[in-house]
Chain A
Amino acid sequence: MEALQTKYAERNVEFIAMYVREPHAGERGFPEYRDHESFDHKMEMAKELQDLKKVTLTVGVDDMGQKQHATLGNLPNMAYVVGREGKVAYSNTWQHAEDIDATLAKLVTADDPSRPVTPTISTKNLSKAI
């Protein structure tokens, strides 16, 4: 998402990471994390996420009731792309950078056909990095 934000920085696209409940708090790889106990605790963990992942884009936090998260589908890693007219252009149960790139390329190219954008993000080589 950071790479996409950089790519579309000049093309009027905003990125918002919505920090939601911790789905695997306390599990094998995350023994030090626990479920949110208050909104302040949730906000602290959102800031920690931002530091850990070196996130520069906007990170927003839903309230403890998670009503807005529920409205959108209640999933831990979902993604929406919304056009400037407020209509959903793309959604998925899991974030997929290639699809999001392709959708954004189409939207911003339609805005200004004289500056076409082609999808360039690939996740194919990520397996080597893991």
Chain B
Amino acid sequence: MAKPKGFFKRPPGPLAGMWSWKHLDLVKTWKMISTKRVRGFYMDFPNAVPVGSDFPEIELATTDGRTVNTKEFLGDKHFVLFTGAIT
């Protein structure tokens, strides 16, 4: 089955993200990404909030003590929301 647009199985960029393996526990990570649960997150992603649909209201506490709510941007600003962590 063709992958939907906006779907990368591995990180894009240099060496398809393989450089990052030197930081990881290979067995643990391989086991994690092979589980049905984690694979499901990736396979279900295109249907979570599809392109063209309304983005849900997201409210987050910020590191500088504020609260940011995506509905503040409605009619005013475009925004990019992305996820990340240290590890």
Contacts and interface: CB of A to CB of B under 8 A. Distances in A.
Interface of A: 1, 4, 12-25, 27-30, 33, 43, 45-50, 52, 58-62, 68-69, 71-96, 99-100, 104, 107-108, 123, 126-127, 130
B71 to A, nearest CB: 8
Interface in B12-54: 12-15, 17, 19, 22-25, 28-29, 32, 41-42, 44-46, 48-54
Contacts of A107: 78
Interface residues of B, number: 57
Given A73-B45, A75-B45, A80 B61 contact: no
A43 B51 CA distance: 30
A48 to B, nearest CB: 7
Interface of B: 6-15, 17, 19, 22-25, 28-29, 32, 41-42, 44-46, 48-56, 58-64, 68, 70, 73-87
